[in-house]
Structure formats: structure tokens, C-alpha cells
């Protein structure tokens, strides 16, 4: 079954404690990205990757890092989380010029 | 600057009637447009798409219309069903960047 898997689904953490949200896809897609969803702001792209070792900033990259060492994995790293990063995060993958497939989401709360 | 806009945050429609969700965009380089549906506690799921070379695409109860001169697209759902109640996002991408840009979403409620 084609899917994008992200973990964890829910996470509560404290300010400044580094965390990683994992994302894995089994469709051999070149393109992967991370979004955050906030009320009234829709889905905003954080970072994206067009292939292994190729990553670039999206619209709201501040406070986040990513890596793409393998085609299937695209983890999102928060080195020093802050309360304004409390949000709902989605990982997505797509082949070129096709629809994106999304993971189930990670609800992050930073206190 | 919001390149993809959904100006109606919510829409309420009676079951069996038509639902029309609207989306406007500003970037003339966009050449591929998509609609996604999102239920609470789930990721967005792809619904229907349209290429800029077309002005209409239909899939069952769902039809997307594209008006390039007005930089406007719409999603029609006929007939609307209670299971269609969800948040709908439109998205656009340009061939040169392959980056998907989303609107802010419209919450559709279909009542009996």
C-alpha cells in the first residue's frame, strides 16, 4: 500500500529540547516536503527536497532543519523548539507534476 | 504574499444540493491545480486536479473548473453528501519549481 508514514502522531515537549519528527515514503518519490497547518493560515511549506541530498527552504523555515540522506526518508528536526512551533505538521511526497500524498500528521505542543 | 487564496473560510450546504468552493491565484506561472480534502485528525487526501491546458475536469460528483484569464478555479460537488463535510484546500504548482502552494482552506458542512 502506497503511504507516507510520520512519527510520532502526538508529541508534547518543553522549550529548548531537541526533537525529530520522522517521515518515510514507500513510493520512490523524488519530491518530499514538510508543511505546518495553523488556524486561518492553511498549509505552509517549511522545507522541501527534490531528491537525495537536495533540500531547500519553503515559506516558513526558521527554527527547522531537514536532511535527505535516503530517498525514502525526510526527517524534520527542531534543534531548540519554542512555543510558536506548536502546530500540526504534515509530511508529503510526490512524483514530479503529480498529486502529493500526505502523512497522517504530527500534533506538536511546545510548552 | 498569499499566492493562492480561498476567501470563504466556511460554507454550509444542504444535502443533495450543489457545493461550490472557490479559489483564486495570483501567479500566472502556475500550470497545475489540485483540490484536497481534509478530515480532522487525518492528513489531506487528493481529490481532483486540473492542468492549465484544460478548463474542466470531472470525476464522479466532483468537477473542477479553471478560468485562466480570471486566475480562478472552483470545485463543484453535486450532489453534496454529509460525508463531504471536511476542510477543502486548493493548491497550485508551477512546472519550473514543482512546489505546491496551498490556500487557507474552506470548511464545508453538509447538513441533512
- Residue A40's pLDDT band (boundaries 50, 70, 90)? confident
Q: How many Cα atoms within 13 Å fall on the side-chain side of residue A51?
A: 1
Q: Is any Cβ of chain A less than 8 angstroms from the Cβ of B39?
A: no
Of all residues in chain A, the percent with pLDDT exceeding 70 is: 99
Q: Is the pLDDT of residue A12 over 90?
A: yes
pLDDT of residue B96: 67
Say if the Cβ atoms of B46 and A100 lie within 8 Å. yes
Say if the Cβ atoms of A40 and B95 lie within 8 Å. no
**Please, what is the average pLDDT of chain B?**
94
Rounded mean pLDDT, B44-60: 95
Q: Is any Cβ of chain A less than 8 angstroms from the Cβ of B43?
A: yes
pLDDT digits (tens, 9 = 90+) for A68-104: 999 999 999 999 999 999 999 999 999 876 888 999 9
DSSP chain A: ---EEEE-SEEEE-TT--EEEEEEESS--SEEEEEEEETTTEEEEEEEEEETTEEEE-S--TT-EE--SSTTB--EEESS--GGG-EEEEEEEE-TTS--EE---EEEEE-
Question: Which residues are paired to B93 by β-bridges?
Answer: B32, B100
> Where does residue B104 fall: left (phi above 0), alpha (psi -120 to 50 degrees), or beta otherwise?
alpha
Say if the Cβ atoms of B42 and A105 lie within 8 Å. yes
Rounded mean pLDDT, B25-39: 94
Q: Nearest 5°: phi and psi at A3?
A: -160, 160
User: 3-state DSSP call for residue B89?
Assistant: strand
Q: Is any Cβ of chain A less than 8 angstroms from the Cβ of B41?
A: yes
Among A80, A111, A106, CA closest to A10: A106
pLDDT of residue B99: 79
Amino acid at each position: 500500500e502506497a503511504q507516507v508514514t510520520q512519527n510520532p502522531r502526538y508529541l508534547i515537549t518543553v522549550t529548548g529540547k531537541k526533537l525529530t519528527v520522522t517521515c518515510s515514503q514507500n513510493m520512490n518519490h523524488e519530491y518530499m516536503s514538510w508543511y505546518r497547518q495553523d488556524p486561518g493560515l492553511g498549509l505552509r511549506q517549511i522545507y522541501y527536497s527534490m531528491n537525495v541530498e537536495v533540500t531547500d527552504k519553503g515559506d516558513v523555515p526558521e527554527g527547522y532543519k531537514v536532511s535527505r540522506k535516503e530517498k525514502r526518508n525526510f526527517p524534520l528536526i527542531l534543534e531548540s523548539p519554542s512555543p510558536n512551533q506548536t502546530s500540526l505538521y504534515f509530511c508529503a511526497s510526490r512524483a514530479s507534476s503529480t498529486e502529493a500524498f500526505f502523512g497522517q500528521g504530527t500534533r506538536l505542543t511546545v510548552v | 504574499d498569499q499566492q493562492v487564496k480561498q476567501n470563504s473560510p466556511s460554507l454550509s450546504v444542504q444535502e443533495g444540493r450543489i457545493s461550490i468552493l472557490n479559489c483564486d491565484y495570483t501567479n500566472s506561472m502556475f500550470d497545475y491545480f489540485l483540490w484536497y480534502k481534509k478530515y480532522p485528525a487525518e492528513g489531506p487526501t487528493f481529490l481532483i486536479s486540473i492542468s492549465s491546458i484544460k478548463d474542466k475536469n470531472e470525476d464522479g460528483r466532483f468537477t473542477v473548473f479553471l478560468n485562466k484569464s480570471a486566475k480562478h478555479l472552483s470545485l463543484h460537488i453535486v450532489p453534496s453528501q454529509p460525508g463531504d463535510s471536511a476542510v477543502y484546500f486548493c493548491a497550485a504548482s508551477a512546472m519550473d519549481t514543482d512546489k505546491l502552494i496551498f490556500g487557507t482552506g474552506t470548511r464545508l458542512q453538509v447538513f441533512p
